[in-house]
Structure 1
Amino acid sequence: MGKKFFPIIFLGLMLVLAACGGNESESEQSTEDKGEINIGLNNWAENVAVSNMWKVVLEEEGYTVHLTQVEKGALYTALENDDLDLGLEVWLPYTDEVFYEQYKEDLAWHKTWFSGTELGLAVPTYMENIETMEDLKANADQFDGKIVGIDAGASLMGLTEEAIGEYGLDGYELQSSSGPVMTAELGKAMEDEAPILVTLWKPHWVFAEYDVKFLEDTKKVYGEKEDISWVSRQSFEEDHPELTETLNSWQMDDESLGSLMNMIKEEEDAEAGAKKWVEENRALIDEWIKPLQ
C-alpha cells in the first residue's frame, strides 16, 4: 500500500510546494524594487511636505527613495551632474528664472503642479501702520533694522536684497537662517504681539496658523504670481517614463497642499505626517499614480 501510493503522495507534495513557490514569486514581483530615486529637498515648508509625500507614495510602489537636503543653487548643479534625479519645486517665471536661464539646456523641465504663488516681505496684521514696502523706510527702528530671512541661497533672499536697494531700505539687514527658524521667530513674536518682518511665500502653513499679511510691492521686485513645477536630470524620463507621466499628472491647490503641510506640522515628523495624509487622501493619490499601475 505505502509503496503503491508513494509516487502519488510525492507528486501531490511537489505540486503544493510548486504552488507555494509560485505564490512567493508573485508576492516578490508585486513588491519588486523599481530602483532608487534621489530627490533634492530644500527646507521650505511645502518642499518638505511634497518631497516626503512622494517618498511615502513611491516607496509603496516599490521604489527606494532618498531625500537629500540641498540649497537651491546646489540642487541644480547636482541635477546637472546626475547626482540627484528630481527637484520638486521650481518657481517660474520669476523666482527661479536665474537657475532656469543657466540650466535650461542641461535639465528637463516639467509640468506645473501648483498655480498662483506669492512671495515677498510680510508682517503680522496687528502692525496696522505697515502696509507697503515704502512704509518700511521710516520704520526700521520698530524691527531693530532686521529682516528675518531663510536659506542664504534661496531666490527669495536674492530678490529681497534687490528690494532693499529698490526701496532704499539702507537701515535694514537681511539675516539668513532657514524656513523653520524663520517661522519659529514669527510665532514667538506674534505670541508677544511684537513687531517682526520676515521673508515669506505662499503656499505656506503660516497663513492658516497666524494673521499675517504681505506688504504691497508697488515696484514689483518680487514679480507677479507664479506657478510651481518640477525639474529632473536630463535623462530621467528615458529611465523612468511611467514615473515621469505620474509626476506630470500631479496637481495640488491651496486646500490639498495646506492640509498636507498642516498635518506634517502637527505630527512633528515629516514622513509620519505625510504617511497619514496619504492614507486620508488615497483617492487623490490613486489618480496620480495610474501610470505606475
Structure 2
Amino acid sequence: MKLKTLSKLGMALGLGFLLAACSGDDSNKSKGDSKDVNLAYVEWDTEIASTHVVGQVLEDLGYNVTLTPLDNAIMWEAVSKGEADGMVAAWLPHTHASQYEKYKDNLDELGENLTGAKIGLVVPSYMDVNSIEDLKNQADHTITGIEPGAGITAATEKALDEYDNLADWNLLTSSSGAMTTALAKAIKDKEEIIVTGWSPHWKFAKYDLKYLEDPKAVYGGEETINTFVRKGLKEDQPDVYSVLDNFHWTADDLETIMLEVMDGKDPKDAAKDWVEANSDKVAEWTKDVKK
C-alpha cells in the first residue's frame, strides 16, 4: 500500500511540475521563438538515459530543457495535449499499444530511435527453466514486476490468464528500481526469481540472465523505441523538431549510459560525457539545425 500511495503521489507531483513548467510557455511557442523545451519520459533505465542525452544535446544548442518523469499513460497524454513537447520513450508495437491507439491521432510520429528492443519474463541463467510453460512452483509462484501502469505489467497480467500453469501465480508490482534490487539480492543468494524484463537494459550486461520462451507470444516479438512530439512543434520550434526527428542510436550506446548511471553517476553527467565522446553521432542529429 505504501508503494502504491507513493507512486500515485509521485505521478501527481510530476504532472503538477510539468503543467507549471508549461503554463507560461504557450504564447512563446505560438511565436516560434521559444527556447523552452519540455521532454516527458517514464522512469525506466532506458528512458532516463535516452531522454537525458537528447536533453543535453538541446541544452548545448541553447535551449532551456525541462525533463519531466511521468507515469506511462500520463506521458502519452501530456504530449498529446501539448503539455510536453515530445518523448523518445514509446515502445511499439506491443508494450505501449493501448496508449498508441488512444493518443496517436493527436501526436506527430517521428519513427523509431532504437531497434531490437524486447520484453518478457527473465530469470537468472542458473534456474532450470527455459519456457513460461515450464513454470511450476518456482519463486513461490511470484513474478516480480515494475510499475502498475507499465505496458509490460499489462502483458504479464495477460500471461497469467493465457498460461494455464500460471493460474495461481501472483504478479508483485512495485518499481523498476525495486525490481532490479530484488533481482540483485536473489542472484547474490542464488535464489529463484522471475522478473518482468526488457532490453536494452544494464542488467543483461551485469548478470547472466535469460528470457523465458513465450510460445503463446503474449509479449510479442521484437520492439522498437519510438519518438513522438506534440502537434505544431515542427512549425513552432523547427530545430527542436529536427533534432528529435534525427535522433537514432544503438543498444550499445544506450547500455553504456545505463551502466554508468547504475554505478552511481548522475544521469545528467553520464549524458554529458556521452555527448562529448560521440560528437559524430550528435552531428548527425543536429545536421539540420539552422546555424
TM-score, normalised to structure 2, is 0.85
- 2:134 aligns with 135
Secondary structure in 2 matching 1:201? strand
Find the partner of 1:237 among 234, 259, 263: 234
Secondary structure in 2 matching 1:177? coil
What amino acid sits opposite 1:226 in the alignment? E
Tell me how far apart the structure 1 counterparts of residues 265 and 173 of structure 2 sit (CA, whole Å): 23
Tell me how far apart the structure 2 counterparts of residues 250 and 88 of structure 1 sit (CA, whole Å): 9
- 2:208 aligns with 211
- 1:192 aligns with 189
RMSD over aligned Cα, in angstroms? 1.4
Tell me how far apart the structure 1 counterparts of residues 271 and 264 of structure 2 sit (CA, whole Å): 9
- 2:162 aligns with 166
The answer to whether residue 91 in structure 2 is matched with residue 91 in structure 1 is: yes
Secondary structure in 1 matching 2:89? strand
CA displacement 1:243-268 (0-9 Å, x = unmatched): 22222222211221111222222343
CA displacement 1:120-154 (0-9 Å, x = unmatched): 11000000x21000111x22xx3122211111111
Which structure 2 residues correspond to residues 94-109 of structure 1 after superposition, within 5 A?
Answer: 94-109=94-109
CA-CA distance at 1:34 after TM superposition? 5.3
Report sequence identity in percent: 37
What amino acid sits opposite 1:151 in the alignment? E
Tell me how far apart the structure 1 counterparts of residues 247 and 107 of structure 2 sit (CA, whole Å): 20
- 1:157 aligns with 153
The answer to whether residue 40 in structure 2 is matched with residue 40 in structure 1 is: yes
What amino acid sits opposite 1:133 in the alignment? I
CA-CA distance at 1:222 after TM superposition? 0.5
Which consecutive residues of structure 1, in runs of 5 or more, have no partner in the other structure? 1-32
TM-score, normalised to structure 1, is 0.84
Tell me how far apart the structure 1 counterparts of residues 105 and 281 of structure 2 sit (CA, whole Å): 33
CA-CA distance at 1:172 after TM superposition? 1.6
Q: 2:46–2:258: 8 Å Cα contact kept in structure 1?
A: yes
What amino acid sits opposite 2:88 in the alignment? L
Q: 1:89–1:230: 8 Å Cα contact kept in structure 2?
A: yes
Which consecutive residues of structure 2, in runs of 5 or more, have no partner in the other structure? 1-32
What amino acid sits opposite 1:108 in the alignment? D
What amino acid sits opposite 1:135 in the alignment? D
Tell me how far apart the structure 2 counterparts of residues 155 and 146 of structure 1 sit (CA, whole Å): 19
Tell me how far apart the structure 1 counterparts of residues 218 and 70 of structure 2 sit (CA, whole Å): 26
- 1:24 aligns with none
What amino acid sits opposite 1:132 in the alignment? S
What amino acid sits opposite 1:55 in the alignment? G
Find the partner of 2:142 among 146, 163, 172: 146
What amino acid sits opposite 2:261 in the alignment? I
Secondary structure in 2 matching 1:230? strand
CA-CA distance at 1:93 after TM superposition? 1.6
Secondary structure in 1 matching 2:78? helix
CA displacement 1:151-206 (0-9 Å, x = unmatched): 11111100000001101212221111111111111111111111111000011111
Tell me how far apart the structure 1 counterparts of residues 209 and 48 of structure 2 sit (CA, whole Å): 22
Secondary structure in 2 matching 1:116? strand
Tell me how far apart the structure 1 counterparts of residues 80 and 92 of structure 2 sit (CA, whole Å): 19
The answer to whether residue 277 in structure 2 is matched with residue 276 in structure 1 is: no
Q: 1:91–1:229: 8 Å Cα contact kept in structure 2?
A: yes
Secondary structure in 1 matching 2:288? helix
Decide whether aligned partners of structure 1 residues 266 and 277 sit closer, same or farther in structure 2, where only a CA change above 3 A counts.
farther
Q: 1:263–1:274: 8 Å Cα contact kept in structure 2?
A: no
Secondary structure in 2 matching 1:104? helix
Tell me how far apart the structure 1 counterparts of residues 54 and 242 of structure 2 sit (CA, whole Å): 14
CA displacement 1:14-56 (0-9 Å, x = unmatched): xxxxxxxxxxxxxxxxxxx951111112111110001111122
CA-CA distance at 1:77 after TM superposition? 1.5
- 1:290 aligns with 287
The answer to whether residue 70 in structure 2 is matched with residue 70 in structure 1 is: yes
Q: 2:34–2:237: 8 Å Cα contact kept in structure 1?
A: no
Structure showing greater radius of gyration is: 1
